[in-house]
Amino acid sequence: MLKTVPSEVVDVAIVGGGAAGLATAIFAARRAPGTSIAVLDGARSLGAKILVAGGGRCNVTNRIVTPADYSGGSRNTIRRILSEFPVEETVAFFREIGVDLREEEHGKLFPTTNRARTVLDALLNEADCRGVCVRPAQRVTAIRTTDFGFQIETPAKTFAAGRVVLATGGRSLPKTGSDGGGYALARHLGHALVRTAPALVPLILAGDFHAPLAGIAQDVELAVKPADAKAIRVTGAMLWTHFGASGPAVLDISRHWLRARLVDREVGVHVNFLPGQEFNGVDEMLRTLATSQPKASVSKALSRLLPNRVADAVLVALEIDRSVTAANLPKDQRRKLAHALVDWPLQVTDSRGYAHAEVTAGGVPLSEIDPRTMASRKCPNLFLVGEILDVDGRIGGFNFQWAWSSAFVAGAAIAKPRT
């Protein structure tokens, strides 16, 4: 076989030009002008995920970001990395590159233009101004260590670099180019992999309860109850769909169900239709109703607490006559109803998979990274940033904040002389 001679030599090769890769390049180039930095991305045009993010408006970060907003690796490590480049710095950075952010509900920060394109263009422009060489259509197929550093192969070219940053993302939305190929590169360079699962993904339900409710949104509390661990609870909006359930609360709980299922097949998701309420309180409320409004139908009373159609669907599923009055509701049915309202089991069969997931849970263990630099503890002069690592945030701008913060730490480290 023909031995390839590197057709291009750079100081730093960044594999993957999504949010984390582009930001790493910018932060490194700002601190160390003159360093030759190439961003190699398999996609023909960069930033597909930035463009689709936040419904095309890109939820860049959140007003308040804490380690508790993330799952995966150690909270302390996540805290340390976030604290190097907190939200205020993110806001200032985007202002510097021409993107003003505006706060919306739940602390989400979006560009004032309401266009994700503004964010991507600003990043690409800043990278260009700082002399970063962005190379689309360069899918990296192999990375080997050499005396010089690394040899990086794409189908068309071979690059030599003193340092490599892996910023290849996870497996979510594979059509954008983030198809998990980066994990193989990391493994080849000595890294392990925490088993991955889709996260922030809609859930598919069995049975015929959900389909007639498609389109209805309601506030709920969701709980995943693994057999051997504490229940995980999420409160927020749930949207019934023709296939099952979606909406922020469902997306947030999805990673917990999927990860629990990796070890426990029987794990369930339970809905509390009356967030904050417990069985005794709801039972008492139904009893009070029987005396205060004895002639009111249970269906009507329930429709003040949850969407009409959901209330009726619950009554039908429990085989309780919708026209029965509160006073005539037998005790066993009242207790059954109270129980169902606070602990309704969702028959989750699966998720909609990586094609519909916003992020990937699992990845390269954080313990294999030095949080002061994002340097690999397995391979000298290798760095890892963004979603390829075993960190996933809840919905609300937290995943991009992870990309910016981890990129900042890596960029600062790369700007220092090579060891």
Q: Measured between alpha carbons, how far is residue 207 from residues 267, 271, 345, 347, 368 in Å?
A: 17, 16, 11, 7, 43
**Which of these ranges, 36-44, 119-127, 221-229, 364-372, lies near ligand FAD under the rule CB under 6 A?**
36-44
Q: How far is the CB of 18 from ligand FAD (least distance, A)?
A: 2
Q: Is 90 in the site for ligand FAD (CB under 6 A)?
A: no
Q: Binding-site residue total for ligand FAD (CB under 6 A)?
A: 38
Q: Which two tokens stand for residue 201?
A: 């993904």
Q: How far is the CB of 55 from ligand FAD (least distance, A)?
A: 8
Specify whether the CB–CB gap between 367 and 73 falls below 8 A. Answer: yes
- Looking at residue 41, the DSSP 8-state letter turns out to be -
Identity at 54, one-letter amino acid code: G
Q: How far is the CB of 298 from ligand FAD (least distance, A)?
A: 41
**Which of these ranges, 43-51, 69-77, 297-305, 335-343, lies near ligand FAD under the rule CB under 6 A?**
43-51
Specify whether the CB–CB gap between 132 and 26 falls below 8 A. Answer: yes
Specify whether the CB–CB gap between 395 and 9 falls below 8 A. Answer: no
Q: How far is the CB of 179 from ligand FAD (least distance, A)?
A: 7
Q: How far is the C-alpha of 296 from the C-alpha of 298, rounded, in Å?
A: 6
**Which of these ranges, 51-59, 70-78, 266-274, 323-331, lies near ligand FAD under the rule CB under 6 A?**
51-59
Q: Judging by beta carbons within 10 Å of its beta carbon (0-12, 13-18, 19+), is residue 76 exposed, middle or buried?
A: exposed
Q: Is 40 in the site for ligand FAD (CB under 6 A)?
A: yes
**Which of these ranges, 47-55, 190-198, 243-251, 283-291, lies near ligand FAD under the rule CB under 6 A?**
47-55
Q: Which two tokens stand for residue 13?
A: 């090769």
Q: Which two tokens stand for residue 53?
A: 């993010």
**Which of residues 173, 238, 260, 320 is near ligand FAD by CB under 6 A?**
173
Q: Is 403 in the site for ligand FAD (CB under 6 A)?
A: yes
- Would you tell me which residues interact with ligand FAD (CB under 6 A)? 15-21, 40-43, 46, 49, 52-54, 58-59, 139-140, 167-169, 172-173, 177-178, 181-182, 358-359, 386-387, 397-400, 403
